Each structure stands twice: as C-alpha cells, then as structure tokens.
Amino acid sequence: MKVYILNQITNNFKSQDGRARLWFLFILLSLLVVWWQASSWYRAQLIAEQRNQVREEVSLRGYSLAAAINRRFALLWGLNAFVLTAYDQDNFGDQFYTYASHLHAKTSGVLNFAIAPEGIIKYIYPIEGNENLIGFDLLNTFRTELKEDIQLAIESEQIILGFPLDYAQGGWGLAARQAIYLENQDFWGLIIVVIDIPTLLNDAGFDGDTSELDFRLEDPSGVMLYETGPTSGEEGISYRLDLPKEQWKLTGFPKDDWDAIIRKNLLPIQISGLVIVLLLSGLVFVLMNRQVQLASAVKDRTQEIAQINRTLEQRVAARTQEITTLLEVSQTTATTPDIEPLLSLILDQLQAIIPFIAASILLLETDQELTLLYYRGPMPSTSLAKHWLLDGADHYREVITSRKPVIIPNVHTETRLSLAWQRTVITHLESVPDYLNCWMGIPLIVKRRVIGLLILHHNEVNFYSNEQASLALVFANQAALAIENTRLYDQVQQVAVLGERQRLARELHDSVSQALYSIALGARTAQTLINRDLEDFDKKSLSEPIEHILSIAEVGLAEMRALIFELRPESLEIDGLNAGLTKQVEAFQTWHKIDVQINLCTEPDIPIEKKLLLYRVVQESLHNVAKHAKAKHVLIDFSCQKDLIWLQVQDDGRGFDVTTPSRGLGLHSMRERVEQGGGTFEVISVPEEGTSIIIQLPIDPV
C-alpha cells in the first residue's frame, strides 16, 4: 500500500501537471525569499531616507538656534567697541544707557546689558529689576561656577557663555561675558549680555508645530533645557551646537516609532510584491511550457525593479544636493558681508534646485511700498522700477500677511491673485511678458518679522509645487539673514567711522588748534609792540614775537600735513613712500619731542598697496614707541635690494619680554599686514634695552 502511494506521488511529479506543481512550489519558495529580501532592503532604504530627513530637519533647527545665539553674541562686539570708544568720557554712564536702550529696543531676547569696570558691575540696562546687581563684584564672588567663567573670560579674551540661570526679570537665560583690554594691554573690566533662552527657541522655530518630530535640548551635563513631547526611550537624531566653552545637544525624535512612520509606504509595496509573487508562481504553473513568455515576463518585472531603484537613487541624490546647497549657502552667509554678490550666489544655488526664468528680491520699506534690491532675469534691471506699490497688489499682501509662500499656477487666468499680478505688471512694465506664466512669492522673515519678498517666475504653467515652495522658503530665510547681517555690518562700520572722527578731532585739538592759539597770541604781542609810541619802537623786541609766530606756524603746518596724509594715504602714489615717511617722522618729532633718525633708500618701484603697508607699519611702530617704550631715540633704517625690502624700526626704550603673550592688538595687526603682503615680521626686545621691529618684504614690481 505504501509502495503504491509512493509510486502514485512519483508518477504525479513525473507527469506534466506534476512537474508544473513542482516548478510552482520551487518558484513560489524562491520568489518568497526574494520578496522577503527585497522587502527588507526597501524597509531599510525607507528608514534610512526617513532618518536623513529627520537629520536634515534637526540640523536646520540646530543651525537656526546657533545662529540666533551668535546674532546676540554680535551685541557684545558692538558693546566692546562702544566701551573702547567712550570709557574715558565723563558722561560714559549716560552714553551707555542711551546705547544699551537702542540695542535693547532693536533686539529681542536680551534680558539685560551690564558693564563691570574692574570686575564690579557699575552700569546695567534695564535697571528695573536689576538694582541689586549694582556693585556686585564678579571677581570675588563665592559662586565657583561663575568665578571660573569670569576667570576664563579674562584669560582667553573670548566670549564665554555661562551656565543657564533664572534671572531677576524672570525667564531662563544665559550670560555671555567678555573681558575688555585697553590699547596699553591693561585689563579694564567686563561686559555682559544676558540672553533669554525661550526667545532663542522661538527664533529658531520651536514656538509652533514641530511637524512630525519631538525635540529635546540638553546642556553638556545632561540637564534638559527644552522638550516638546515625551522623548524618553526613543532613538533620536542628535545635532551638537558648538558654543563657547561647551556644547548643547539637540535631539529630534519621531512622534511615532520608525516602523510606524514608514509603514504606510512599506505595506503597499509588501502587498504588491506578494501579489506579484503569487501571480508569477501561478503563471509558472499555468504556462510551464511557455518558457519564452515567462522569460519575457521576468525581464519586464526586473526592469520595473531597476526603475524603482533608479527612482530611489535619484531621490537620494536630489535630497543630498539640496542639503549640500543649503550648507554652502549657510557658510557663505556667515562669511560674506557684501550683499549683492551674496544674493547672486544664493540665487545661483537656488536655481540649481528650483529652476526659474526670473527672480527678484524686494524689501518692505513701508506698509505701502516695496523696494527692488536685486533682480535676475531676461530684462535689464535698469528697466525695472525701483519702488513697487502695495496698493492693489493682493498677491504681494497675501505673502506678507500669511507669512507663507504663495503660488499662482497660471498668471493669465481670471483669479483674484492673477488679476492683481497682471495689474501690477502692466502698471510698471506697460505690458505682460508672454514668457512669464507661473509665479511664486516667498516671504523674507527675520526675527518673526517680514522684511521683504523673494519672487520667482517660470515660463511653464503649473510649474511650482508646494514641496518646492517649502524648499524655497529655506533659501529665502538665508537671504533674509544675509540682508540683516549686512545691516549689522554697516552699523559696526558707522561706529568705527565715528570713532576715527573723534580721534582726528582730538588730534586737531591737541596739536593744530594749540599752534593756532600760539600764533594768535604772538600776533597780538607784535601788534601791541607796533602800536606803542614810535620813540619807544625797538625792532629787536618786535622780531622775537614774529620769529615765535613763524616757528609755531611751521610746527602747525607740519602737524596739519601729517594729519592730512593720514586721511589721504593715497598721496603715497603721488609723493612717494620716502616723502610720506619723512612727513610722518617730522610730525612724530613735533608731537612727542623724541629724536628720530631715518635712513632711506631710493624710492622703491612697488605697488601702492605695499607702500601703504610699509607706511602703516612704521606709523604703528612709532605709535607704540610714543605710548609704551618711553624712548629717547628712534632709528628707522629703510634699505632696498634687488628683490627684497628691509625695514627696521629700533628704539632705546624700556623693551619687554617677547616670550610673554601680548594682549595688545598693535603687534598682531602689523604681523597680519606683513604676512598678508607675503613678507616676514620679527620682534626683538629685551627689558630695559629697547625694541627692534624687523620686516622683510619681497619686491613685486609694478
């Protein structure tokens, strides 16, 4: 009986139908293995892609938070420049409260500004709620962490970020501190800016819906500073914010687990694959003898899988390009102060990801008007109006009020926004260009305030999508940050110009005005002698005040020429380097009564930039002699060889120990100038035996 059954089974498999079943089982099992492997591979790809998306969003949020902190660090630079400019003025306190109130009004998220001469808080703004901090001695505090931060700020001369604290005005804040050293390398005191952490988080975009992610922000000790949802026990993506002295860690977590996120994409593929497996197996069973058709079907399915792989690879490559481009834009924004080249570069990188035929950047100057800042497109920029009114421009107002990108799929339709676009274009261009068909407006937002618009046009109808709008918004934020950085840079430049004007005013008061006063006094003396009775007239008594007037006039003329030469160093190109150095030495001897011997070679044939470099180095060297050396004699030796210029400035002053780190900026500035010009810079100094500065600069013929 058993033998009969085995024979029947063997006969069944030997039959055509049995072989079909056997092939069906074999193909089914093989395809199930392939299906399982493909499903596992695709699952891994989906999870990797999802993790990349989370990593991208966490990185962008982290970068935004770091940028918000660094923008407030810039306030310390402005406060540092203010203190160095006005620390010795009688109304320093009034100037500080005026300056601090201006910064406080323009900058959100700052709890207070404080200045601590010699480490004791003397000035603070706002004063309300901070009265008990006046007179607080930072150098002798009993709080170990604070004392360590203060000591580190003094020793490093860098911005030091203190640990989070609850502050008097309320709120969770950070204290950024920096030590101030005067030009004579003396420690003057500390400046402090206290930053509000919740405002930083709001600026970085943590104040609203965080999409499909929860976030947790921790300090180096693991203390949680911010959390948007339950994040314990989940695997997240972390981003480290490099801050002075420490690092914060920002971690993003999916609100669901990773499998739940990809399940809606994975399940249809798994079901489809299983259906394909069953269908293929059924076809093998039914069409066992039709091997040609089966091979063709397998080939088709293989091509479909290859196409899916190519599509996935293209998506990964596109996302990689987007991330790389955004990082390049972020780096360029932080290092380039010139607005037009920066905006041009941002549009170059944007166009590589989002094509456009024309792009404009408009600034919101008033509630009723936009100003064209930058344009790229087929029309010459000179033919476009500088100012664009918002009256009737509903498409512009829609972007400003919604604070979100707005798309007009077809600008030639009869919709409200399309008609508004047509009215605006006809008003300014007299006709509607036929190559403009699709329009997208993106807001430029800084500190939750719309400062302008980024406008993109394309010649294809329905070209822009919501995904492209979201990506363009990131580029718009970078453009807005670049514009804001340029404004801050201009403000710093204005403060520097004001300081230079004040210095020149002091120089004029201390030198030329005194000479003019002496001339006037001598002239009045001579006039008194002339007005006496002729019988008492004595030529000898008259010649003395006249000679005094002439000598003082010559001194005043030399001082005025030196000041004019400082204001107009381009005269080096006309008068030459030797003439400039001679005038500088004459003025120095007049002002400081220090003997200077100068040995000059033939006027070198070098570019004006290197002449200016040598002139500034000698100027700074003489300044250091007058301010620090207490010297009686100075030797300036200037020799020119065939391919090398050799310059030495030597004094017989008190010298210093060159192995001791210098806190002054003079030597550092001279070294940077010389090394940027391709030369070498050397300082030789012995305490109580004088100092020599030796420069060797290669000759680069004009």
Residue 466 parent element (H or E): helix 466-510
Residues 6+ apart with CB under 8 A from 698: 643, 644, 645, 678, 679
Token pair for 694: 């030796």
Please report, for residues 76, 152, 495, the alpha-carbon distance to residue 81 in angstroms, rounded to integers and kept in the order given.
Answer: 9, 21, 8
Q: Which residue stretches of the chain have pLDDT < 70?
A: 1-20, 163-171, 207-211, 230-234, 244-246, 257-261, 263-264, 281, 284-298, 306, 308-338, 489-545, 547-548, 550-571, 661-665, 700-702
Looking at residue 508, what is its pLDDT?
57
Please report, for residues 139, 144, 145, 169, 247, the alpha-carbon distance to residue 149 in angstroms, rounded to integers and kept in the order given.
Answer: 10, 9, 6, 22, 15
Beta strands in 502-654 (DSSP E): 595-599, 633-640, 644-651
Closest CA to 327 of 103, 130, 62, 72: 62
The Cα diameter of the chain in Å comes to 169
Looking at residue 435, what is its pLDDT?
86
Closest CA to 253 of 199, 211, 200, 315: 211
Q: Phi/psi of residue 455, each to 5°? A: -110, 130
For residue 684, give the DSSP letter: E
Token pair for 557: 């003329």
Please report, for residues 524, 557, 587, the alpha-carbon distance to residue 516 in angstroms, rounded to integers and kept in the order given.
Answer: 12, 10, 16
Pairing of strands 633-640, 595-599: parallel
Please report, for residues 163, 359, 428, 431, 439, the alpha-carbon distance to residue 389 in angstroms, rounded to integers and kept in the order given.
Answer: 48, 18, 10, 17, 18
Q: Following CA atoms 250, 253, 255, 257 in sequence, which dihedral angle do they give, to the nearest 10 degrees? A: 180
Closest CA to 188 of 116, 275, 239, 252: 116
Token pair for 408: 């007009």
Neighbours of 55 (CB within 10 A): 15
DSSP of 253-284: EESS-HHHHHHHHHHHHHHHHHHHHHHHHHHH
Q: What is the CA radius of gyration of the chain?
A: 38
Token pair for 384: 């476009």
Q: Residue 564 burial (CB < 10 Å; 0-12/13-18/19+)? A: exposed
Domains contained in the chain, CATH given: 16-289 (3.30.450.20), 332-493 (3.30.450.40), 574-702 (3.30.565.10)
Please report, for residues 210, 436, 520, 550, the alpha-carbon distance to residue 523 in angstroms, rounded to integers and kept in the order given.
Answer: 80, 78, 5, 10
Looking at residue 665, what is its pLDDT?
63
DSSP of 293-329: HHHHHHHHHHHHHHHHHHHHHHHHHHHHHHHHHHHHH
Interhelix angle 92-106/16-86, nearest 10 degrees: 160
Instruction: Say how far apart CA 610 and CA 577 lie, in whole Å.
Output: 10
For residue 661, give the DSSP letter: P
Q: Residue 90 burial (CB < 10 Å; 0-12/13-18/19+)? A: exposed
Instruction: Say how far apart CA 375 and CA 169 lie, in whole Å.
Output: 45
Looking at residue 292, what is its pLDDT?
44
Instruction: Say how far apart CA 702 and CA 695 lie, in whole Å.
Output: 20
Which amino acid appears at position 419 of this protein? L
Q: Phi/psi of residue 217, each to 5°? A: -115, 125
Helices (H), 388-465: 394-402, 416-429
Q: Phi/psi of residue 140, each to 5°? A: -120, 30
CB 604 within 8 A of CB 576: no
Looking at residue 183, what is its pLDDT?
81
